[in-house]
Structure 1
Amino acid sequence: MTPNQNDERVHILGIRHHGPGSARAVSTVLAELDPEIVLIEGPPELDAVAPLAMAAGMRPPVAGLVYAVDAPATASFYPMAVFSPEWVALRWALEHGRDVRFLDLPANVALVLEDEEDPDAEPPMDPIRTLATAAGFDDAERWWEDAVELRYHGMDVFQAVLDAMRTLREGHIPDLRTRRREAAMRRVLRVALRSGAQRIAVVCGAWHAPVLVPSEFPTQTADAQLLKGLRTTKVAATWVPWTSTRLARMSGYGAGIESPGWYHHLFTAPDEVVSRWLVRVAHLLRREQHDVSPASVIEAVRLAHTLAALRNRPHPGLPEVLESCQAVLCGGSDVPMRLVARKLLVGDILGRVPRETPMVPLAMDLAATRKRLRLKQSAAEQQLDLDLRTETNLARSKLLHRLLLLDVRWGEPADTSRGKGTFRESWTLEWTPELEVALIEASGYGTTIESAATAVVAARTADADIAGLSMLVETTLTADLPTALGGVLAALDERAARQHDTTRLMAAVEPMARVRRYGNVRRADTEVVQRVLTGIITRIAIGLPAACTALDDEAAAELRELVDGVQRGIGLLDQPELRDVWHSALRSIADRPTVPGLISGRAVRLLLDAGLIDVADAGARLSRQLSRAADATQAAGWLDGFLSGEAALLVHEPELLEIVDEWATGVGAELFDHLLPLLRRTFAEFSATERRDIGLRVRRIDRGEGASGVRADDSTLDHHRASLVVPRILELLR
């Protein structure tokens, strides 16, 4: 049947990974040949889990996963879809009771194999692009689709591929890793030949096909020399779910394809490929409220075939189908086409593996917990809103927070600031294949999610500083790890007592205040947090004046952020005694000349907001700081600290605005250019409406009306008539 391969026992089926045309041809040829042994490109470690491909519950896309037992992050995936030739060959062999094995460099070598300098190797070649160029195509994908994917031939196409690749490889020396891989493939094939089998089918990447022809084998000694002395590591193999997105080349997967959804359709559609695809597009667009009629679908089919004929293509390919779809079904717009690309060309399919698939205990615990909490794994982004007052949602929140500790980022916390309240959490869930490896990595910490997360917290506690420990307290509380929480708090208390750096203590206040304020939402006892927090705030109040001296601009800006953080933390606590301690510290730095203006100005603003000084006092301080005798740079920093936050202070307190305006207009031109970026940054934080109101009031000042809009010498105001409306206004404002 294949005279050019010489040994008629071996039939080389050179395929393209994830090629539906190749998969159809493999299915046809295997049915004709009925081989006794089927060899498939892939690490031999997958032999142990190959039978699971026939198990109930196995649904592609899936991937063989081989990982180093001692370093699970060192791993390789071997994805397979319904339309992958390797999957078709594997399923055929298992269905017919044939011997099926994988041939490639063993993963226990490949995972730790370091690339060596290879002076004999030539630059890597893209064989498909080279053949496409030789055929006069500037698009390699289109050539392969025309030549293979849209032509469902039998063994003839594999013989043609073999001949083409043999020609391309003449005189070409591949890199050392590739030569070692091919030597390992031949080693497996030699073993199969010695078994006495009369028909052996080898399904491999087209590039490797010529070197697997027995008559062209190098000596066994030469292959053994290539594989001699290579370092190995202990590995394990399993199957994991894969996604259609990860099959796409845009995901970074080396053997990826442009449109896995289209290839899936090419392989599974029994007939009328173009018509069936455009009907699917029409269904999708209708669900999204786009008006698509049956007549327009018929017209799109006709246009696709016409375009194929004009371009001398055997059948309409994806470019023709997409062009007709956009022109007819989408009215020429590319907006609906983005939906088609996301939902149909790529898709969000998540495969499934059977229960009996080997799993680490941690993955088994997650699967059981996920099932109990009715959390569905999906390759598409899902929004999950949780009301923590219900037992199920609280348990879901704990699980997702524990997974974050394990760096298994199935869920990412979403923005909860818009009207959610403290009992609400929002998450964005998306399951990706890489999370399977993350679970394996995390399994070194424990056999259950809770025990592993507790161990992670203990490990982080040993190395964390004060700020890190305070964040860890909050994280541990939300993950509901009471054993770990005690250890973190003990470490925090002990290190805070020995900590003399006030800034590190300040960084700990806000997260710990959140724990104290919202701990009751999670039904946690936070009394010990209160004790530690009280001690930290007391130490901050004592050390703050010294921490505010001898600071450059960058250090002052960082300390100002810490001051705001402490203020936010104090604001979360309904504890007057701690508030008084903090305000006392602010008073101590408000007028101290050695404190940078950015910080002292901020202290005055916070005291004003707390009602501890009045507007007149604040105005007097502002006037002194912005006087002509004061340093302009220091004054600008003071103004930045005083004004940042909200603009209501300038809008509703005209005397303060007049002081600022007088200072800004009195600064010299050269110095003003230096101060302008700082002032612009200060006012840029205000909303557009606030900036407009300030501008209108400044214009009134320029007209001599004052910021309030009333001229100082205006005697036409009738105070009696104005007082008549005051009661009504007060009534409306109640």
Structure 2
Amino acid sequence: MTDVHVLGIRHHGPGSARSVAEALAILRPDLVLVEGPPELDQVIPLLSDPEMVPPVAGLIYAADEPRLASFYPMAGFSPEWVAIRWALSTGAQVRAIDLPAAHTLGLQLAASAAGPPSSGPSSVDAEGEDSDADGGTSAEGTEPPALPQQPYRPDAIGILAGAAGYSDAERWWEDAVEHRNADPVERFAALTEAIAEIRAVDDRPDHHPDVLENNRREAWMRRLIRAAMRDGHERIAVVCGAYHAPALVPSTFPSVSADNKVLAGLPKAKVAVTWVPWTSGRLSLRSGYGAGVTAPGWYQHLFGHWMARDPEADVATTWLVRVAHALRREDLDASTASIVEASRMATALAAVRGRPSPGLPELDDAAQAVLCDGSPLPLALVHRELTVGHELGNVPESAPTLPLAADLAATQRRLRWKPSAMEEVLTLDLRKPGQLARSVLLHRLVLLGVGWGVQTETGRTTGTFKEVWTLQWQPELAVDLVEASRYGTTVASAAAAYVSEQARDTGSLTELSGLLAGCLLADLPDGIGAVVSVLAERTALQQDVAPLLETIAPLARTCRYGNVRGVDVTGVRKILDTTVVRACVGLPTACAGLDDDTAEAMRRAVDSAQQGLSLLPDLPLDDWHRALAAVAGSDRIHGSVAGRATRLLLDAGLVDGDDVAASLSRRLSIATPAREAAAWLDGLLSGDATLLVYDRRLLEIVDGWVAGVDDEIFDDVLPLLRRTFSAFSRPERREIGEQVSRIGGASPVAGETTLDLAAAGPAIRTMARYLGWEAVA
């Protein structure tokens, strides 16, 4: 007769992991069954590879829909990891027994094909198949459900801990379970009885979606346990979420026909499986992972301390030493004496709170009071660095992988560039070949939608040799690589193929220009050729002037910087020349009859074109300036666009200050409606106050016009004026204000003044007293 022992655990619980290790050492089973999809069986042997370093996650995805995937994370303190590693090290067989992912993903595909359910929540939450930290698989799905789900299965161990007055289930497990004299097998049996009582109070019907999903999983687990018993194994250990434990005890099994009825008619999807690196931050509850834990770094510390079995080591003191080191790395004081004092305070707090030993809450309180001088800010640093941590696991090269992921890994090794779970800011000098190669790789990944790096501002540097990136590797990027693998087997070929597809599908010249610029930065000659051919066709058919104007800047950047990166831009230059000519010819007509919104869009397009044209001096600027002059001189064109055209001509030296002053006087005259005048003024001045600061004539004209606006329409004009002047820098606004205060003031010719010294007397005397000039006061 087969002896089956069910070990109900808390996923990612160090106390559970310790108990599992002790129980397996006593039971010595010849078969270990672990909660998890059976697809993992083909990659479980890889956990014995020395290069496999937790945290890692099993990744199972639908072969035809890679975005539909689930993660099954394991940390070094996860009971499943401990059980599997024990079996592999002792020669015992080990299998996964949960509902196959082929059925789980098949159900999701069927649900998405059927559309959103008419009632009831989805059976899969936004982050995984289980929202509890205890009773279910540690899978994390990446496909969000149609409706949000409230977790059905409670954190059973958390409920027991709460009933005992504990806020931390791991503290309760350590105090109430680990410190008991009973052997670990009896501990698990007692826990199973307690969970059975919790399950007995649930009165939800079997047809409830959550209950149905749970019943399916437990029915499948029972099916595989029965099969293992028939195989003749003498002793079987079942490691599962504590909530499932009562249902997996053979003496409580329902009939085989009842389980078969629950499992009948399940859809099935073709799936693939591999291991991917995971992060400690992704294990934390704050990341949204349903079966996560609040403090993975602390739990790893606990588990390492327990398994070391060093009677001389104190878990609280060793943790506070690590806290002190973290503070010192940030140049914060943390003396040895303060560590001793913090340890004593943590012990005293535990005694006051009725706890047998200090836990993380007591250690945090003591560290904040003693090591952080009562400030929560250094403690937040400790939480990020230690309590959660920045660990990133490693997967051996022998793990199944797609050619695209393998090419990326090979490129990273060639560049000596190891991904990190910690966010870092990287500055690249593109004049150095190695750093240029890193830039190219990041730009290719961006095109593929693999967001390892996000480009940020370079600061005040205006050169083109510098790039700044914010890098952070997330486990979900593995799914992005799987999805992108359909475009090619290498990062370069996949990025080029993806760009070619996007170019064919998009109808926007702006998007095409963006793709062209991305290909340039990513060094994709094949992609550039594909985009250029589509762009030439689209620009020839484009009748709208605004998109043509917005295309000029990216094309000009491609032409200017393409040769720097060794890219042939002859075809791009032909398209650019044609686009500039067509835009210049159509600009005056396109600017006529615009309302406020379309005028704002046209003005942005004109600014964009001006920026692009300034990059290449050999472009036909005469045609551009003639088009701007036609726009600036027309009274039928919206003031925002006409004012901007006037400003661009002034900056180019084609009109002088007298011409601008005359245009300003005419545009701000009584005959011009106030809103139109304000729009023209905004177009002239927006973004740069130089004209008003250095040309008093223009300032006086503007000041006179503002003073003469009727009260009835001033409220309509004010928002536009405030937008115009708020864009100026603070020193510019202050200088304009000082000059306006002098307009109409002292007259050097007549010697007149508008200052009322009698009215200013009290203020003058008060300031004199402040300055200590009592005689004046």
TM-score range, shorter chain: over 0.9
Deviation of residue 160 (structure 1)? Answer: 2.3
2:683 is the alignment partner of 1:656: no
Q: 1:102 aligns with which of 85, 96, 106?
A: 96
- Aligned residue for 2:188? 158
**Residues 278-289 of structure 1 aligned to structure 2 (within 5 Å):** 278-289=320-331
Give the residue type in structure 2 aligned to 1:267.
F
Query: Following the alignment from structure 1 to structure 2, what is the Cα–Cα distance between the partners of residues 70 and 308?
Result: 54
Counterpart selection for 1:529 from 558, 572, 581:
572
Distance 1:63 1:546 in 2: 61
Query: Does structure 2 retain, via aligned residues, the 8 Å contact 1:20–1:149?
Result: no
Aligned to 1:66: 60
Instruction: Give the conservation status (yes or no) of the 8 Å contact 2:153–2:243.
Output: no
Q: Label 1:639 to 1:97 Cα distance change in 2 as closer, same or farther (>3 A).
A: same
Choose 201-210 or 525-534, whichever is displaced more.
525-534
2:608 aligns to what? 565
Residues 107-137 of structure 1 show CA distances to partners (whole Å, capped at 9, x for unaligned) of 0011131477679x99824234433443345
- Any conservation in 2 of the 1:370–1:376 contact (CA below 8 Å)? yes
Range that drifts further, 245-254 or 667-676: 667-676
Partner residue of 2:152 out of 124, 137, 153: 124
Conserved in 2, the CA contact under 8 Å of 1:587 and 1:603?
A: yes
Following superposition, the deviation at residue 537 of structure 1 comes to 0.8
C-alpha contact 1:145 1:317 (8 A) present in aligned 2: no
Q: Which residue of the other structure, out of 646, 661, 666, is the alignment partner of 2:708?
A: 666
Secondary structure, aligned partner of 1:513: helix
Partner of 1:181: 217
- TM superposition shift of 1:613: 0.4
- Say how many residue pairs are matched: 703
* 1:138-186: CA deviation from partner (whole Å, max 9, x where unpaired): 6667645644578796123212220111001115246211111111111
Aligned twin of 1:341: 383
TM-score relative to the length of structure 2: 0.88
Larger mean Cα displacement after TM superposition, 345-354 or 381-390: 381-390
Q: 1:19 touches 1:149 (CA, 8 Å); kept in 2?
A: no
> For residues 378-457 of structure 1, what are the structure 2 equivalents within 5 Å?
378-419=420-461, 421-457=463-499
Q: Distance in 2 between matches of 1:110 and 1:475?
A: 38
Q: Secondary structure of the equivalent of 1:428?
A: strand
| Aligned partner (choices 354, 360, 368) of residue 318 of structure 1 | 360
- Return the alpha-carbon distance in structure 2 between the equivalents of residues 507 and 462 of structure 1: 19
Q: What is the letter of the counterpart of residue 60 of structure 1?
A: P
In structure 1, what is the Cα distance between the partners aligned to 2:526 and 2:298? 52
Instruction: Supply the distance in 1 between the matched residues of 2:644 and 2:174 (Cα, whole angstroms).
Output: 67
Q: Secondary structure at the match of 1:692?
A: helix
Corresponding residue of 1:688: 730
Deviates more, 1:673-682 or 1:543-552: 543-552
SS at match of 1:491: helix
1:444-469 deviations in Å (ceiling 9; x for gaps): 11111111111101101102221111
Contact 1:43 1:106 in 2 (8 A): yes
SS of the residue corresponding to residue 238 of structure 1 reads strand
- Structure 2 residue aligned with 1:728: none
Deviations 1:346-370 (A, max 9, x none): 1111000111010000011111111
CA contact under 8 A between 2:10 and 2:157: conserved in structure 1? no
Distance 1:23 1:189, change over 3 A: same
CA distance in 2, matches of 1:112, 1:598: 57
* Identity among equivalent pairs (%): 54
Please point out which of 298, 303, 306 is paired with 2:340: 298
- Given that 2:426 and 2:468 are in contact with CA atoms closer than 8 Å, whether structure 1 keeps it comes out as yes
Q: Partner residue of 1:41?
A: 35
SS of 1:456 mapped into structure 2: helix
- Is 2:157–2:242's contact at 8 Å kept on the other side of the alignment? no
Partner of 1:205: 241
> Are the counterparts in 2 of residues 423 and 521 from structure 1 also a CA contact under 8 Å?
no
2:86 pairs, out of 92, 96, 100, with 92
Deviates more, 1:667-676 or 1:143-152: 143-152
CA distance in 2, matches of 1:8, 1:713: 116
1:525 counterpart SS class: coil
User: Could you say if the C-alpha distance between residues 148 and 617 of structure 1 is closer, same or farther in structure 2, counting changes exceeding 3 Å?
Assistant: farther
Partner of 1:4: none
Q: Which amino acid aligns with 1:177?
A: E
Letter in 2 for 1:697: Q
State the secondary structure of the residue aligned to 2:72.
Answer: strand
**Residue 394 of structure 1 contacts residue 522 of structure 1 at CA under 8 Å; is this kept in 2?**
no
Aligned partner of 1:484 in structure 2 is 527
| Residues 65-89 of structure 1, C-alpha deviations (whole Å, 9 max, x = no match) | 1111111111100000000000000
Q: Is 1:241 equivalent to 2:241 in the alignment?
A: no
- Give 3-state SS (helix, strand or coil) of 1:374's partner: coil
What residue number does 1:513 align with? 556
Which of 8, 13, 20 is 1:19 aligned to? 13
1:488–1:714 Cα change, 3 Å: farther
- Counterpart of 2:297? 261
Question: 1:383·1:428 contact (CA, 8 Å) conserved in 2?
Answer: yes
- Write the distance in 2 (CA, Å) between the matches of 1:81 and 1:21: 13
Which of 619, 625, 637 aligns to 2:667? It is 625
543-552 or 402-411: bigger deviation = 543-552
Structure 2 counterpart of 1:272: 314
The equivalent residue for 2:720 is: 678
Q: Which residue of 2 aligns with 1:725?
A: none
Consecutive unaligned residues of structure 1, counting only runs of 5 or more, are 1-6, 706-710, 716-734
| 3-state SS of paired residue (1:71) | coil
How has the CA–CA distance of structure 1 residues 712 and 507 changed in structure 2, closer, same or farther, with 3 Å as cutoff?
farther
Hey, what's the Cα distance between the residues in 2 that align with 1:569 and 1:559? Answer: 15
Q: Distance in 2 between matches of 1:515 and 1:714?
A: 61
Partners of 1:37 and 1:254 in 2: CA distance: 29
Structure 1's 298 and 8: CA in aligned 2 closer, same or farther, altered over 3 A? farther
The 1:327/1:311 distance shift into structure 2, 3 A limit, reads same
- Tell me if the contact between 2:452 and 2:477 (Cα under 8 Å) persists in the aligned partners: yes
Q: Which amino acid aligns with 1:134?
A: A
CA distance in 1, matches of 2:259, 2:287: 35
Distance 1:83 1:496, change over 3 A: same
Partner Cα separation in structure 1 for residue 740 and residue 349 of structure 2: 66
In 1: Cα distance, 2:633 partner to 2:674 partner: 17
Partner of residue 261, structure 2: 225
Task: State the one-letter code of the partner of 1:38.
Answer: V
Aligned partner of 2:586 in structure 1 is: 543
Amino acid corresponding to residue 12 of structure 2 in structure 1? H
Distance in structure 1 (CA, Å) of the matches to 2:677 and 2:192: 80
Question: How far apart are the structure 2 equivalents of 1:346 and 1:48?
Answer: 31
Which AA in structure 2 matches 1:243? T
Q: Which amino acid aligns with 1:398?
A: V
Cα pair 2:19 2:178 within 8 Å, conserved: no
Q: Deviations over 1:239-262 (max 9, x none)?
A: 100000000001110011111000
CA drift of 1:187 comes to: 1.0
Helix, strand or coil at the partner of 2:42: helix
Aligned residue for 2:419, secondary structure, equals coil
CA distance in 2, matches of 1:532, 1:658: 46
Shift of 1:520: 2.5
The secondary structure found in structure 1 opposite 2:5 is strand
Task: Kindly indicate whether residue 499 of structure 2 is the aligned counterpart of residue 471 of structure 1.
Answer: no
Change (3 A) 1:426 1:89: same
The one-letter code of the counterpart of 2:351 is A
The letter of the residue matching 2:279 is T
Structure 2 gaps of 5+ residues are: 112-116, 124-149, 205-209, 753-777
CA RMSD across the alignment? 2.0
Judging changes above 3 Å, is the alpha-carbon distance between structure 1 residues 183 and 612 closer, same or farther for their aligned structure 2 residues?
same
Structure 2 letter corresponding to 1:615:
G
The Cα of 1:663 is off from its aligned counterpart by: 0.1
> Contact between 1:72 and 1:437, CA under 8 Å: does it hold in 2?
yes
What CA distance in whole angstroms lies between the structure 2 residues aligned with 1:78 and 1:128? 20
Match of 1:572, SS state, is coil
Indicate whether 1:80 and 2:74 are aligned: yes
Contact 1:118/1:176 (<8 A) preserved: no
- Alpha carbons of 1:149 and 1:536: their partners in 2 closer, same or farther (altered >3 Å)? farther
What is the alpha-carbon distance in structure 1 between the residues aligned to residue 30 and residue 462 of structure 2?
64
Quote the offset at 1:515 in angstroms.
1.0
How far apart in 2 are the matches of 1:377 and 1:28?
36
| Partner SS state of residue 323, structure 1 | helix
Equivalent residue letter for 2:46: L
